[in-house]
Amino acid sequence: DAGITQSPRYKITETGRQVTLMCHQTWSHSYMFWYRQDLGHGLRLIYYSAAADITDKGEVPDGYVVSRSKTENFPLTLESATRSQTSVYFCASRGTRGETEAFFGQGTRLTVV
């Protein structure tokens, strides 16, 4: 099916463990984004990518790593999870035309215990 999918939808992990959240889009959009959603903060940008092998930091990048070896995939890795990284994570993608909106995945609810 066309669209943007995130996996897993729910994840519980322990402090200090590495965890990777997956994001896959089928539109061949150039731009991809990772946001975290927290009460009182709305959505904050973690990392974004303009194309394969091009990534850049957003507002809250500390503790996260991204890669983009293929246009359709944009995984987000928490190298050593902390309780403060408990959040809902959203992946989004957008085409290259300046006026197009971003399309969002269903989100991954991550709990760090």
Partner 1 sequence: AQSVTQLDSQVPVFEEAPVELRCNYSSSVSVYLFWYVQYPNQGLQLLLKYLSGSTLVKGINGFEAEFNKSQTSFHLRKPSVHISDTAEYFCALRNTGFQKLVFGTGTRLLVSP
- Which one among 67, 71, 73, 106 touches partner 1, defined by CB under 8 A? 106
Q: Binders of partner 1 among 28-57, rule CB under 8 A? A: 31, 33, 35, 40-45, 48, 50
- Which one among 23, 68, 107, 112 touches partner 1, defined by CB under 8 A? 107
* Burial class, 68, CB count within 10 angstroms (exposed 0-12 / middle 13-18 / buried 19+): buried
Nearest-angstrom CA–CA distance, 34 and 63: 13
Q: Which is nearer to partner 1, 15 or 94 (CB)?
A: 94
Nearest-angstrom CA–CA distance, 52 and 69: 6
Instruction: Decide: is 64 part of the binding site for partner 1 (CB under 8 A).
Output: no
Amino acid identity of residue 19, one-letter, is V
Q: Which is nearer to partner 1, 78 or 91 (CB)?
A: 91
Nearest-angstrom CA–CA distance, 86 and 9: 14
Nearest-angstrom CA–CA distance, 69 and 83: 29
Q: Which is nearer to partner 1, 12 or 50 (CB)?
A: 50
Instruction: Decide: is 22 part of the binding site for partner 1 (CB under 8 A).
Output: no
The residues binding partner 1 (CB under 8 A) are: 31, 33, 35, 40-45, 48, 50, 58, 90, 92, 94, 98-99, 101-107
